[in-house]
Structure 1
Amino acid sequence: MQIYKVGGAVRDRLLGKPVTDIDWVVVGATAEEMLAKGFRPVGSDFPVFLHPRSGEEYALARTERKSGRGYGGFTFHASPEVTLEEDLIRRDLTINAMAEDDHGALTDPYHGQQDLENRLLRHVSPAFAEDPLRVLRVARFAARYAGLGFQVAPDTLELMRQLSESGELEALTPERSWKEISRALMEDHPQVFIQVLRDCGALKVLLPEVEALFGVPQPAAHHPEIDSGVHTLSVLEQAALHKQPLSVRWACLLHDLGKGLTPQSEWPQHIAHEHKGLKLIKQVNERFKAPRDCQELALLVGQYHTHGHRALELKPSTLAELLQSFDVYRRPQRFEEFIAACEMDARGRLGLEERAYPQADYLRGAATAARTVAVQPLLEQGFKGPELGEALKRERLKALKAYKEQHSQ
């Protein structure tokens, strides 16, 4: 029995990056031998075991054969005869197909170390094209390592293009797709993930609503970058630079989908794109079964982001309706995330990345002014039931009028 450290742990050590998860592969062992040593089996598809003390995953060396559609359409074969090289060849990228023994000696049959030095994301074998999930994974690695200068190798991009055209991407489950998309959006360069998907034709299959934004112009006075798709990538880039949470990044990706529906005759204007985009945002949310907080924020940002940009011009009554729409009295954090998404939208414009966004503090101040209206005095005046709600609304509106007057002096 021989045990090797494999995959990401080897790759990241060679890159000088912190190693978090360690995967191990065991060559020359049977499941019975693993059990006898106290390892605990997990999963039913192939033999993976948890170490009795560390809890880390140890997988028996295995081969795989395509037996159906999609990510799950594989038959696995694990036995003591499977070699380390046979196990490594079924992996996605050469930089993930290296192994290290307990002395630190490297096994690199597919030249992963050379591709690390050349900053290339290259497939290990033609079997790469059997698993549609790898299109998303490679795009995610491109987003992770873009800051180090990594590019997808042209022949790998071609295989990704073939996969995108094969119909295999449609076989991915919403859960698997969302897992990759959400992880990619949280990388340092999530805009690269979207760009790579576009380059290989996968974006029009997975997110046709985002693909439709490219080539659609916007008024140059507000959007020096002009192209709606390019703007979306820039907004996503700003969200990553400002360390925004997943819900904000998801909202940034989807906020302008309505612009893809504007007839060419109306370009570069996009009248009511906020409202038009809601049905598209809803269908993307449902397609990937996004978590509820991501779904809700994306819809609210889609509908109200132009309100955010015009915050200083809004009438007190409009401001009051906006705060009510966000349920800001019970869910203040969601309004804070809305403000963040609006700011990223404003910064995601060519040459305006550093421009101040006074709307953010103005909106926060408005929320505070409305929240400071106390209920107790109204109860003491005898208001109750629906009348109490109306009285509370009137007092909040009064507070917002005072707030606006104070800021217009």
Structure 2
Amino acid sequence: MPESDNPPRDTAGRYARYLNPSEAPIRTESTICANCGTERPRAVSHRCAAPGLLTLTAATERVLAACRAAGGQPLIVGGSVRDALHEGAHQPKDVDIEVHGLTGYEPLSRELGKLGSVDLFGVSFGVLKLTVDGEDFDVSLPRRDSKTGDGHTGFDVEVDPTLDEVAAFGRRDFTVNAIGYDTAAGELVDPYAGIADLHDRVLRHTTAAFSEDPLRVLRAVQFAARFDMTLAPETADLAASIHDEFPHIAKERVWQEFRKLARVGVTPSRGLDVLVQTGWITWFPALNDTRGIQQDSTWHPEGDVFTHLSLAADEAVDAAARYELDAEARERVVLGAMLHDLGKVTDTQFHDDGRITSHGHAESGAPVVHDFLLSIGAPVQTAEWVSTVVQFHMRTAANQGTKPSAYAVRKLARALGDVPFREWAAVVDADQAGRGPGAKISPAAQWLDVYENGNGRPRISILRGEHLMSRGMAPGKEFKPILAASVEAQDAGEFTDEAGAVAWLDKHLAELS
């Protein structure tokens, strides 16, 4: 079972960061390359040596060779290069390649076709897709995007072989994604100083074209969470200027960005910071309304509800790791922690003696969480599971730190239904840890111990409909409350076998008559 008797990792640091954000260095007129140390301006050609940065698979080598055979000069671009710089030399997956020096797709398609089937569907977006030895590749040519309509899909794409590296990379969203790698020369291509921004953990747009695609703001949210980044002020201003473009983003794309934040974000609160900084938080009113909702400092010295949710989301990342949850479960746990106190918006009360309470907020918050998740495109099952955890995240409060009975644990497990008990425990852990200087040891470990090792798992109902019919009852709506009451009695230990169940039934029917 995961350790849970230790204080949460780096709580004080996260708390201080959230209340007093420390901006990483912002370099605008000139910057220093974190790879070669050269001082240089942005938006100019810059290459520097980085031999061995990427370990290429045989499939990648074959695709690069095909691009050269077509007469082009291929560069590996985007996430593969960014992640290698961020995580160290590694073997990239899902490689993106940009091929310079070609006037069209025909020779490239012909050479790539020798390696496998080339998907031409993406040509209208400037991309050829193929799979080689089970590895996926996107191969593109330098191109211009012309804004022709609303939202993130209203573009015409035109291949332009005259574009140099500066112009070609300028169509990418952020400087950290506008870094290329020339495998033939062993050189990094970094016209927008993305290496420096990655080193400084600053998320910055490449050009003013950023504002043409509102989806990029939500990408900023998940990238900030994923790489623990702050948003450059000028990028925040640009994002704020397209605030009203949000309705043009398809709901499924909104969900994709929130899902990435929850699945791979290392500091989800950074993403919430971006929503606030850009003003886009107003498009998510259930979250926005928690800002300024004060809490009793005895229990929550960290600040308002929004601050607590932000810190809890960060702690959920650690909790999911401790419980060894997979990506799908981690997603639900992070979202559960991020949303678990939405009910405080309506249930918070301020008393004359200075106390602040929010009785019933877990129950009232569950449907709010459910509706919020559906509004951002989450699957119905995700909304149901997360809202169920939220509904019961305060269940430990009834025990006031004492070890729960097997009955209490079985009752909770039945209420959770299909929701794994460990996911509930992880959200409770995050709630307790996400209180800044008021972080507490979570009681969830005791509940989980009883569940897994102390007779806390619900058993199959002993009393069945056939027992009711043996007492002369006809199947009907009267069965349901009696069977539900029998489950309650069974969990409470009033009977443990069939004979005891029948005896309980006779007594119960006598009381009803």
TM range (shorter): 0.7 to 0.9
Q: Counterpart amino acid of 2:83? A: D
1:5-404, aligned counterparts within 5 Å?
Answer: 5-17=76-88, 18=90, 19-27=92-100, 28-39=102-113, 40-44=118-122, 45-51=124-130, 53=132, 54-102=135-183, 103-146=185-228, 150-164=229-243, 167-185=244-262, 186-205=264-283, 207-242=284-319, 243=321, 245-262=330-347, 268-311=356-399, 321-327=411-417, 331=418, 334-353=420-439, 355-362=440-447, 364-365=449-450, 369=455, 371=457, 373=459, 386=479, 391-398=486-493
Change in 2 beyond 3 A, CA 1:187/1:20: farther
Distance 1:153 1:374 in 2: 56
Q: Counterpart amino acid of 2:189? A: T
Percent identity, aligned pairs only?
27
Measured after TM superposition, the shift of residue 321 of structure 1 is 4.7
Cα deviations by residue, 1:260-282 (Å, 9 ceiling, x for unpaired) = 22477568222322233233212
Q: Counterpart amino acid of 1:46? A: F
Q: Counterpart amino acid of 1:238? A: E
SS for the counterpart of 1:100 is: strand
Cα deviations by residue, 1:51-83 (Å, 9 ceiling, x for unpaired) = 463542211221101111111111111244444
Distance 1:115 1:358 in 2: 41
RMSD: 3.0
Change in 2 beyond 3 A, CA 1:253/1:59: same
Change in 2 beyond 3 A, CA 1:348/1:289: same
Change in 2 beyond 3 A, CA 1:323/1:343: same
Cα deviations by residue, 1:90-144 (Å, 9 ceiling, x for unpaired) = 1111221122222222332223234334443221111111111111212222222
Number of residue pairs matched?
A: 388
Distance 1:247 1:76 in 2: 37
SS for the counterpart of 2:266 is: coil
- Higher Cα Rg: structure 1 or 2? 2
User: Gapped runs of 5+ residues in structure 2?
Assistant: 1-71, 470-474, 497-513
Distance 1:97 1:134 in 2: 14
Change in 2 beyond 3 A, CA 1:65/1:400: farther
Q: Counterpart amino acid of 1:8? A: G
Change in 2 beyond 3 A, CA 1:241/1:79: same
TM-score (norm 2): 0.68
Higher helix share: 1
User: Gapped runs of 5+ residues in structure 1?
Assistant: 402-409
TM-score (norm 1): 0.84
Change in 2 beyond 3 A, CA 1:43/1:268: farther
Distance 1:187 1:322 in 2: 30
Measured after TM superposition, the shift of residue 87 of structure 1 is 2.2
Change in 2 beyond 3 A, CA 1:362/1:316: closer
Distance 2:149 2:495 in 1: 61
Change in 2 beyond 3 A, CA 1:321/1:235: same
Q: Counterpart amino acid of 1:24? A: I
Question: Which moves more between the two structures, 171-180 or 73-82?
Answer: 73-82
